[in-house]
Amino acid sequence: MSLMSVRANVEHVYRWDLDKTYLETDFDSVRGLVKTALEPAVNKRAVPGAKALLNAIAQDNPGSKIVILSGSPTQMRQVLEEKLRLDGVRFDELRLKDNLGNLRRGRLRAVSHQMGYKLPALLQGRVGARAVVHETLFGDDAEQDALVYALYADLVSGLVDETECAEILRAAGAYRDEVDAAIAALRRIDPSSAIDRVYIHLSRPRAPKRFEALSEHVIPIHSHFQAGVLEFARERLSPAGLVSVAEGVLSRGRHPVHLANLLQDLGRRSWLDRGLEARLMAVDGLHTLIAAFRSRWEGVICDAPRKQRPRTVDYLALLPRFERRTARNS
Amino acid sequence: MSERPITIALDVMGSDHGIEPMVEGAARFSLESGGAEVLLVGDSDAVHTALQAQRHDASRLAVIAADGGVSPDEDFRAALSERPNCSTNLCVALLAGGQADAMVSAAPTGAVILATSAGLRRLPGVRKTALAAVYPTERKHGPRQDPFALMLDVGATVHASAADLVRFAVMGSTYAQVVSANPNPKVALLSNGTENTKGTEAIVAAHEWLNRSEIVDFAGNVEGLDIPKGTVDVVVCEGFLGNVVLKMLEGVGEVVADLAKDAYARRFLWRLGLTMLSSGVRQLRTMTDWKQYGGAPLLGVDGVVVKAHGRSNPRAVSNALKVATKAVRGDLTGKIETGLAEAARSGWFDEPDEREG
């Protein structure tokens, strides 16, 4: 069983990416890459609200497991663990990519590609989990997180079969052993609709429409405050947890009006309903904000919570769109 | 927590090219660090759809639903009175009510002028508002060496009296100080000769009036040929003349670009020559491209109003939003008000015959 597999008593799994999801990382330039590799933990900065959100999730869901799956090289383990420790983040596992091993074995595609690394790792991590153990995933728009996570959700639910999975992995440049590992793990997973939410932090940022072709599990977020609100909506985050996320965002040079605009954005995408507004209004630290700015979302608020509907996704056709590109091409 | 950001109401309706370039311009602007908050005022469903297709920072954008806009091909007077909640009226209301610090609109000039004159008070001492436009010049201006100068009025009103022209001079001088950071802008009247006797009665009287000014650095009259040369920093004229001149400058810029394209296609040698000159041609195009300069501020009202070109592309919209932000940050309205009040206190605004009498 994989190190990342789910313990029998775990109630919920939160899987987080690190770079650009939790950490503000610049790997779009050589300078940024060098800086990322060399800077000490104390200088690394979390994305506004990420530290508060991850800590609040851990605190509000004591039966949950927090798994960090990152494409950062294994050589960075010490500094990343130190950063998480400095931020007070509780995590159960931290999996990093063996880029040096890949280089030694001449597996250059494995260094730059993400699908062949992340998808087998996710599937292996799901092996042995009961169908009732749900998962929430956090990634970003810099690489293929949205595509990989959506595919993972559809594989676990049985919407995509192993033949298609192998085909997609091969098309994404995965090596044979990576494909085999993914298929082997998939065969050991009980189908369920357990992967119920995928948050994609728009770090570049990209147009939200880009993600509409993926499953409805995938929700692009402009700020972790939006993820906080949606987790609060489904009662996975306490009022105090949500307030701490809001404070985390505000402490990084934002004003309450920015939070109000983020709520309006959720409304425009049908994620804000009357019931949620009423619950937000009842949160001590948010009452003033909601009361002051509710006219902002009055025209877009829904009467009932949004329903997620399964959608057929043509992953092979979408692959080129999710290749890693520069911001200019996004 | 940071201070409340500057808020700009953007009228996304009324542009010649529909809402897409307006929304895209705002989306681009939202991604720039330190950007203000933009209220996208218009058809909320259409704005939402357009926004989802753009990279943007949702925390810096909010959509305000409006009852349509004023389109270029309709009677703007009727549109404004029949639809009190149309986007242009709503932007003015947001500005007047303090929910916005500035407004930007690409709606027809007449609609913007009418809506603002109905919804915003004129600053004390202002008799007529003026639309100011920046235009490219050969000479550079101010400490930042900006390659453009300011001209007003370019179409807020048709005719202007001497007293109006004098007030335009004060407002234009203040604008150049705030937006171009030019501490001592040179101001001139546009006429058909540099002599103080040349021009209409209003120009001759304004010349005499401005000559006595201690508030404005008056450089006398300039002729049409001085406009592209950039002899002065601010050119003052009545709206009819200013509008004709501005449109002509735009037309010349476009014709030059078309001629270059035509020459490129016609002969190999010309193509070769143009290719060798490509960086210079690009620079010239950039300099003469009105989209670079954003929009024309409407001066004399109590609030920052920027009229964007009806044909604005996303870059022009984004630049118009930057102009508005800069004007708010520099307290343009407050400084114009102070300048006008100082002029009034000194007695300089009194009619010449009143002063002499």
What is the domain partition of chain B in residue ranges?
A: 1-122+300-329
* pLDDT at residue B292 in the model: 60
The answer as to whether A188 is a domain residue is yes
Pick from A207, A223, A251: which is nearest to B52 by CB?
Answer: A207
Whether residue B21 contacts residue B29, with contact meaning beta carbons closer than 8 Å, is answered with no
A244 and A201 assigned to the same domain: no
Tell me which chain A residues have a C-beta less than 8 angstroms from the C-beta of B51: 268
Query: In this structure, is residue A327 part of a structural domain?
Result: no
Alpha-helix runs per DSSP H in chain A: 30-38, 50-60, 77-86, 99-104, 108-112, 115-126, 145-157, 162-171, 176-187, 224-233, 239-250, 256-268, 274-281, 287-293, 315-318
Nearest to B58 among A222, A250, A255 (CB): A222
Query: B97 is written with which tokens?
Result: 């009510």
Domain extent, residue A19, equals 7-222
Is the Cβ–Cβ distance between A52 and A240 less than 8 Å? no
Q: In terms of domains, do A78 and A162 share one?
A: yes
In this structure, the answer to whether residues A80 and A181 fall within a common structural domain is yes
pLDDT at A286: 92
pLDDT at B356: 44
Of the CA atoms within 13 Å of residue A133, those in its CB half-sphere come to 24
In this model, does residue B23 exceed pLDDT 50?
yes
Please state, rounded to an integer, the average pLDDT across all residues of chain B.
Answer: 88
Residue A157 belongs to some domain of the structure: yes
Number of structural domains chain A divides into: 2
Alpha-carbon gap, residue B56 to B54, rounded angstroms: 6
Predicted local distance difference test score (pLDDT) of residue A191: 92
Residues A25 and A165 in one domain: yes
Q: Does CATH number 3.40.50.1370 belong to domain B1-122+300-329?
A: no
DSSP letter, residue B60: G
Which residue among A206, A209, A296 places its CB closest to the CB of B62? A296
State how far Cα B303 lies from the chain centre: 13
Contact A222 B3 (CB under 8 A): no
Q: Are both A129 and A246 inside the same structural domain?
A: no
Q: Do A119 and A208 sit in the same domain of this protein?
A: yes
Which residues in chain A have Cβ-Cβ distances shorter than 8 Å to B60?
258, 261
pLDDT at B282: 63
pLDDT in tens, B135-174: 888 888 888 888 889 999 998 989 999 999 999 999 999 9
- Which residues lie closer than 8 Å to B104 by C-beta, 6 or more apart? B8, B9, B10, B11, B295, B306, B307, B308, B317, B320, B321, B324
Choosing from A192, A222, A252, the residue where a domain stops is: A222
DSSP code of residue A213: T
- Model pLDDT, residue B281: 61
Same-domain status, A94 and A35: yes
Given a cut of 90, is residue B1 above it in pLDDT?
no
Pairs of residues, one from chain A and one from chain B, whose beta carbons lie less than 8 Å apart = 69
pLDDT at A188: 96
**Interface touch A299/B65, C-beta < 8 Å:** yes
Q: Does A212 touch chain B (CB under 8 A)?
A: yes
| CA distance linking residue A58 with residue A241, whole number of Å | 10
Is A257 in the same domain as A153? no
Across the interface, do B1 and A254 touch by the CB < 8 Å criterion? yes
A1 within domain boundaries: no
The ranges of chain A with pLDDT < 70 are 1-9, 324-330
Residues of A in contact with B52 (CB under 8 A): 207-209, 212, 269
Query: Do A176 and A297 share a domain, yes or no?
Result: no
Q: Report CB contact under 8 Å: B55, A207.
A: yes
Residue B283 pLDDT exceeds 70: no
Residue A324 counted as domain residue? no
CA of A80 vs chain B CAs: smallest distance (Å): 28
Half-sphere exposure in the Cβ direction for A284 (13 Å, CA): 5
pLDDT of B80-95, one tens digit each?
A: 999 999 999 999 999 9
Same domain, A246 and A216: no
A202/A269 same-domain check: no
Instruction: Identify residues of B whose CB sits under 8 angstroms from chain A CBs.
Output: 1-5, 7, 31, 37, 44, 48, 51-63, 65
Chain B hits for A261, Cβ within 8 Å: 37, 58-62
pLDDT > 90: percent of chain B: 63
With CA atoms as reference, the chain B residue closest to A261 would be: B59
The answer as to whether A325 is a domain residue is no
Cα-based distances in Å from B267 to B256, B277, B280, B281: 17, 15, 20, 17
pLDDT level of residue B186 (50, 70, 90 thresholds): very high
* Low-confidence winner among B172-186, B309-323, B343-357 (lowest mean pLDDT): B343-357
Distances (CA, A) of B24 to A175, B12, B31, B55: 41, 10, 11, 8
B42 neighbors B70 (Cβ within 8 angstroms): no
Q: For residue B29, what pLDDT band results from cuts at 50, 70 and 90?
A: very high
- HSE toward the beta carbon, residue B352, CA cutoff 13 A: 15
Average pLDDT, chain A: 90
Q: What is the pLDDT of residue B295?
A: 86
CB contact under 8 A, B3 and A255: yes
Domain co-membership, A263 together with A291: yes
CATH number at residue A157: 3.40.50
A59 CA to chain B: closest CA distance, Å? 25
> Does any domain span residue A330?
no
Distance CA B218, CA A227 (A): 59
